[in-house]
Amino acid sequence: MSERRAAARFIFLTLFLDILGIGLIVPILPSLVTDFVGGDASVGAAWYGPIQALYAAMQFIAAPVLGALSDRYGRRPVLLVALLGYGLDYIILGFAPTLAWLIAGRVLAGITGASYTTAAAYLADISTPETRAKNFGLIGAAFGLGFIAGPALGALLGSYWDRLPFFVAAGLVLLNLMYGLFVLPESLPPESRRAFDWRDINPFRSIARLGRYTGVIGLVVVFVMSGMAQRGLETLWVLYTEYRYGWEIWQNGLSLALVGVCAAVVQGGLIRRVVPAMGEKRAILFGLLGAAGAQLAIGFAPTGGWVLLAIPLAALSGFAIPTIQGIIAGRVPDNEQGQVQGAVTSLMAVVAVLAPLVSTRLFTITSGDDGLIELPGSPFFLHAAFFLLSAVLSVYILRNHVDGARSRPEPSEQPTEA
């Protein structure tokens, strides 16, 4: 039990540092790109968008690869190698002399950032039906805390030297790597591993294979629709609050910190009490309906104060998403967790590309002088619809395809390579 707790702490720290590192460079990267293209902000924006999309595209490609490798060689070596790559990536970004080097660094970041796949598979390995929602809640708690600390620390460090956040992020990741070398046990025993199949690295094939597991494909659709709503909210937050309420940078900073605090409270603490008390189905429905209500409240909010009141309501999705992840893990054999988590990560990388495009486009055509209609809250109404559809579908899937189905099937009989 103590080994499992130490392992869970390491996974939490790894995920926290992933988000912290992203947050550290968020205030710096756009201006760095602009500097590389001659200081023109519009040209910099034209480069920055595709560079961010490239990061998501590399995650889409790399996630099944890391997942399949972890099913074959174990979670520990894949996680540690990914951490090493992540640390080296930040060093590359810190020293990058040209835009080409910066792009190369973001490619490497996308590949190593797909280690989320292996981290999720590790959590599935060490979870029981009673602890899986709590363990997957660590992902959201890490996100919340990293989201609080990262941008603020990045802005502070960047005010001294614009490359300093990269080196601080590299140091933190490499220290975590050293910590993992000493405390992280392997979660997938050799007898439970399976042979590496080159076909498994095809992200489209990995996604298609989700249909093999009872109820999983429907729950993944719920997960993706919820992700569309959540990523859309994150993309639009600053644009919306500046446009509608005239918020300044410090107001948005404090509001985003509140988002992180609420996420950490729900997924780092409350989830371990609420889900066992309510049951998985009710907790999922409660979380998705609460998140839908929050999106509607934000879209209709007449003042910024009402938006702040909606943030704790939006955090209720933290009861649903980790619980869904836990149920998915419970429907998959131990030696296929990496492949399945890789497929889910690939889908979420697609969401990371599509959601900003959809939400920002809808915001553009429903606001401003060139808009077809003045209804700036319309993207949030769309997000609410995504959450409501997710709630309805989750009830159907859990009732008809999950309840009574055998949890955690036996490992597939595919032999391990010698």
Alpha helices in 246-336 (DSSP H): 249-265, 271-278, 280-300, 304-314, 317-330
Ranges of each domain in the chain:
1-183, 206-406
**Position 226 confidence tier, pLDDT thresholds 50, 70, 90:** very high
Nearest CA-CA partner of 416 in 194, 199, 198, 196: 194
How far is the C-alpha of 277 from the C-alpha of 133, rounded, in Å? 12
- pTM, two decimals, is 0.73
Token pair for 271: 């989830």
What pLDDT band is residue 393 in, cutting at 50, 70 and 90? Answer: very high
Reduced to 3 states (helix: H, G, I; strand: E, B; else coil), residue 96 is coil
CA distance 242 to 255: 12
List helix spans (H) across 333-415.
Answer: 337-365, 378-397
**Which tokens in the block code for residue 27?**
């205030």
Domain 206-406 belongs to what architecture? Up-down Bundle (1.20)
**Least-confidence region, from 297-306, 362-371, 378-387:** 362-371
Whether pLDDT at 392 is above 50: yes
Are 231 and 356 in contact by the 8 Å Cβ rule? The answer is: yes
Any alpha helices (H) in 26-131, and if so which ranges?
Answer: 29-36, 41-73, 75-95, 99-113, 116-126
Output the pLDDT for position 249: 66
Q: What is the pLDDT of residues 132-174, one digit of tens each?
A: 777 777 777 777 777 677 777 777 787 788 788 889 888 888 8
Residue 224: enclosing H or E segment and its boundaries?
helix 216-245
For residue 404, the model assigns a pLDDT of 53
344 close to 321: Cβ distance less than 8 angstroms: no
The predicted structure's pLDDT at residue 417 = 40
125, burial (CB in 10 Å: exposed 0-12, middle 13-18, buried 19+): buried
Say whether pLDDT at 411 is over 70.
no
How many Cα atoms are found within 13 Å in the side-chain-facing hemisphere of 47?
A: 20
CA distance 26 to 151: 6
Do 206-406 and 1-183 have the same topology in CATH?
A: yes
Query: pLDDT tens digit string along 18-76?
Result: 777 777 776 677 778 878 888 775 566 667 767 777 887 888 788 788 878 888 888 88
How many whole angstroms separate alpha carbon 346 and alpha carbon 231?
15
Of 77, 340, 53, nearest to 203 by C-alpha is: 340
Structure confidence at residue 298 as a pLDDT band (50, 70, 90): very high
Q: Can you tell me whether residue 214 is helix, strand or coil?
A: coil
CATH superfamily of 1-183: MFS general substrate transporter like domains (1.20.1250.20)
